[in-house]
Structure 1
């Protein structure tokens, strides 16, 4: 005979299990319970499944480890298996061809009366009606009382004027301190290397050579042979500021001692310094100076200068200052990336501690319409914990308020100013915060519990700290405040004057 395994799911109910049985096409059906979850645990569920299997002309068996299901199945005469191998190895009990079982209800035991006989039907009915009416009234009264006590709710808003308090104290952020104290808070030194360059238009003007001086040099032969003077032969003056000249063309000094030749010359550098007096040029560069002598029979002339945009000390200083400001912004951004959660940079702590490289180009005095500055430095900053600073500020502010006031923690603001006499090691801190009078919300709610709206309005108007208090009731038509103080919520609203 053909046996079919039908697996149940943890969410199956009698209806879904019967739907699965409708698709059975075997003579024997084994319902396999899931390993997790407890389903179809009632005897009536198995009866419905047994009837559905009987309609399909199939025998029903159970594979389950639930003791309740196994017990119900055995009472109904259904085969019960422990695992899958036993389904094929064990012999199914013979089919008795009996009809599916029906679940019969057990009759309720009768309660004997005190006299050994049943009470009259009329008296029993009257007593039952009385008891039902009593319990119904009791439940209704309990619900009404619960609604009266727990149902209503009230919200009291007390606008309270605040006042500003301030305190001044000295604080230092020391990297060597591990725990906060009255005068020092832990700090961290942060370092970063930054570099950059900047170009600015020059604002100054400098004298720039515009023309070179020219003239005539006379060469005299000191030997008996002719001497060739190549173009560009160097000549010099003597003195503390010698000037250099060059010949502008090739020349030949005739042979013979005392032979002369005139050659045009030009100053090597532009400017009026090339305008020298007659006879100032007396030296020939190189070995030619041993063969010929030189002089200028006439003064040289034509050397001149003109004013052009150029690099002045003011331009260099402006470029350096602009670059330092840019690098400070860059260092500030990079140092903030190193901050931990809750930290901040101490104001004025950012400084350049080491200059690695710097350059100003062009050089001072050079003609140029722009000046370029390059700089590479190591910047250092000091990090501190904002929470620890706020705690120190709150401690300083407590001495400024009385016992009837309290400081609003979210309103604390601290301004730090570096002290010039401590080289950035200490800061003058000014803490400011808003304070407001202390209102005992629990006592106020207890005093107003159960009072009428008129009484509450009168009592709230007598509070010195509150300004124009408001009352909201739920439901709005309820004449009194809740009897439970827990259902009264008092909200203190700070008001800035």
Structure 2
């Protein structure tokens, strides 16, 4: 063995394979493997055993340089020289490996057979050769038939398959619950149908204006006109002042003459006279058109006729608007409606989607005299009346989720045994709200419905169907109370010509028909 030492610094990427390649060309030499302190590879005992075994195969005297305590311990167990530094490896004595790395060959080849053994084997072959050819053929045929039967039975059990499509029985459950929403309740009481109700209060302010409807008449003037009297007889007719004339259409409007006049003698003689509307017909009501004043009232009606050839004019009314008591009541009612509407919008803005304000419970809870300010008193002369008003408005709020929970609980109480609820089939409807007899209570009806489906054991059904004929399998499925009568089960066989269910239950697939 060469006295020269061949040093190898291990790298972080070195493996057993790469190290074997390095040792391949170093047969019969002294090899020193140096582990860097930062290296983490090839530090286990198994790695050292494999390295030492490779070195022994190539007659290499192996030593290592490492500071790892565990690696030094493994090297001592394997009788491998281990040094702290490169200088120590050059001055110190190296160990020779005495570790048994290869198993001894305990199992040696068997000795040659003895003559009596050969004689026994030869006799057995001779007896076999003495058998009848027919017997051998029959035995072979029997084995072939047996194997064919086994293979056929295996294929009969494994190859056939079936798919059974079933529709579980379904029922619809409907409940109608009389619900009482009570502001004094703090939890759902399923037995009595009571759910909590929330009281909301809002302080709101608004302004409103209405036109004044009262009227005060200040002064008026009478309409005046010129009429023409015509003599109906042969003598002169004297018409005194204050003679009353009137209109003939609709309700008469009365006029009176303003001076004495005389109609000349002779039929058809005419004279003009000034007239004015009487005091009870003052104002623009006396402004009548031509020909409207055509009636003489009194004893002169048979002696003269009268007509106005021009319109009566000059009648006028003078009045002002005042605040009536009805205006005040109307404005107060309008402001209250606005306050409730404003409070409703504010309440609704802060509620969840499932919370509902009961419109029937919306009311003005508190008004104060100092919160109600009118712009004018009753009788004041003005064209409009304004009001600024503040009030506290309250309302009851019902959470629809509570009513849904109540109806769902009632539905669950009615689910028959061996049935399960289909959650996606739950429906809910709410009736109109009604104010309860007690203050703070709201009554309404909640209607809920859901579909329940029968449970069935698929594994048990597969075991029952295994090995049955197609007709018997259909009859068995029809007899199952858990399956729907309206949608009978459907069986798909492979191969179809078999007309019998597979003997192995695992070859039967049972699935539910999709819901429509």
TM normalised by structure 1 equals 0.47
Larger Rg: 2
TM normalised by structure 2 equals 0.46
